[in-house]
Amino acid sequence: MASLLELSDVSLSFRGVTALNALSFAVARGEICALIGPNGAGKSSLLNVINGVYRADAGDIVFDGRRFEAIRPGKAARLGIGRTFQHNALFRRLTVRENVLAGLSRHGGASFIENVFRFGRDRQERRDFSARADRVIAFLGLDAARDRIVSTLSYGIQKRVDLARALVSEPKLLLLDEPMAGMNQDEKTEMSRIIAEVNRAFGTTIVLIEHDVGIVLGLAHHIVVLDYGRKVADGAPDAVRNDPDVIAAYLGTVH
């Protein structure tokens, strides 16, 4: 099967307000898929469904050949779904390195007792995790900030830490909720380059939400356009750009 993630007829509503309406699309293994649409189109809700924060009212989600049942964020993480958050949900009193190390939690096999007394599985894991964290920190150019407390860093750097924390666990699917929100043009270009690089170097499948259509058209292989919880368009960037429905629903209107 070529697709890593497949949604069919997924619906979600909050007390009668429809957030997602019979939504179907597939994300192929190894691609960068961008979700775009106006505010309130259901993009973040969709990520939250894929990540198990919300449970869909109806529809099927198949991830990596397995059907989702009553999934929760912890289980999603252990299945290999990593994510970043729109607001930086970092552990702000921890250092950059500790945040990244925390990202490896799903790989930890050692028990609390082993952790505390540093024996058994803990020794091997400690070395292994430390090396993996350092590699990701270097990859994202965070070396200089390694031992800084996250809350003291600039917003743009924090966004990168959020990505590092998700990336370190080598997820099969990486969900990025507005990774470039609040960034200036240079920072956006840099982040976009990093995301493309992650996709290329690790082969990670990426689903991202981004408002800057210019960036999205250059970065994504596949674009899904949402409006009022419905799918308006789905296809390659060039096809989507010229789709009259998309122009009407999103590209042509002012937000």
Partner 1 sequence: MAFFLETLIAGLFAGLMYGLVAIGFVLIYKASGVFNFAQGAMVFLAALVFVTLVERGVHFWVAFAATSALMVLVAIAIEALVLRPLRNRDPLTLFMATLGLSFVIDGATQFFLGTDVHMLDIGIEDIAQDYGGLFISQFDIIASLIVVALVAVLALVFSKTRMGISLRAVADDTLAAQSIGIRLPVIWRIVWSVAGIVALVAGLLWGARQGVQYSLSLVTLKALPVLIIGGFSSIPGAIVGGLIVGASEALADIYLGPLVNGSVSTWFAYILAVAFLLVRPAGLFGDRDIERV
Evaluate whether 182 touches 193 at the Cβ level (below 8 Å): no
Q: How far apart are CA 90 and CA 98, in angstroms?
A: 11
Residue with smaller CB distance to partner 1, 206 or 223: 206
Across the beta sheet with 3-14, the strand order is 17-28, 3-14, 58-63, 66-67
Binding segment for partner 1 (CB under 8 A), chosen from 16-24, 38-46, 77-85, 137-145, is 77-85
Q: Strand, helix or coil at 77?
A: helix
Helix (H) / strand (E) containing 10: strand 3-14
φ, ψ of residue 79 to 5 degrees: the values are -75, -15
CA 114 centroid distance within chain: 32
44 binds partner 1 (CB under 8 A): no
Residue with smaller CB distance to partner 1, 169 or 192: 169
Residue with smaller CB distance to partner 1, 70 or 112: 112
98 binds partner 1 (CB under 8 A): yes
Binding segment for partner 1 (CB under 8 A), chosen from 19-27, 124-132, 136-144, 238-246, is 124-132
What DSSP line would sit under 25-64, residue for residue? EEEETT-EEEEE-STTSSHHHHHHHHTTSS--SEEEEEET
Q: How far apart are CA 216 and CA 36, in angstroms?
A: 8
Binding segment for partner 1 (CB under 8 A), chosen from 121-129, 186-194, 196-204, 213-221, is 121-129
Q: How far apart are CA 95 and CA 120, in angstroms?
A: 26
Which parts of 47-66 interact with partner 1 (CB under 8 A)? 51, 53
Binding segment for partner 1 (CB under 8 A), chosen from 18-26, 54-62, 118-126, 201-209, is 118-126
For β-strands 173-177 and 205-209, DSSP reports them as parallel
203 binds partner 1 (CB under 8 A): no
Q: What is the smallest separation between the CB atom of 145 and partner 1, expressed in angstroms?
A: 17
Q: How far apart are CA 199 and CA 33, in angstroms?
A: 11
Query: Minimal CA–CA distance to 176: which of 81, 243, 254?
Result: 81
Pick from 159, 160, 165, 231 the residue near partner 1 by CB under 8 A. Answer: 165
126 binds partner 1 (CB under 8 A): yes
Q: What is the smallest separation between the CB atom of 106 and partner 1, expressed in angstroms?
A: 3
Pick from 3, 59, 106, 213 the residue near partner 1 by CB under 8 A. Answer: 106
152 binds partner 1 (CB under 8 A): no
Pick from 6, 122, 178, 210 the residue near partner 1 by CB under 8 A. Answer: 122
List of residues contacting partner 1 (CB under 8 A): 51, 53, 72-74, 76-78, 82-83, 85, 89-94, 98-99, 101-103, 105-106, 108, 110, 112, 115-116, 118, 122, 125-126, 129, 165-166, 169
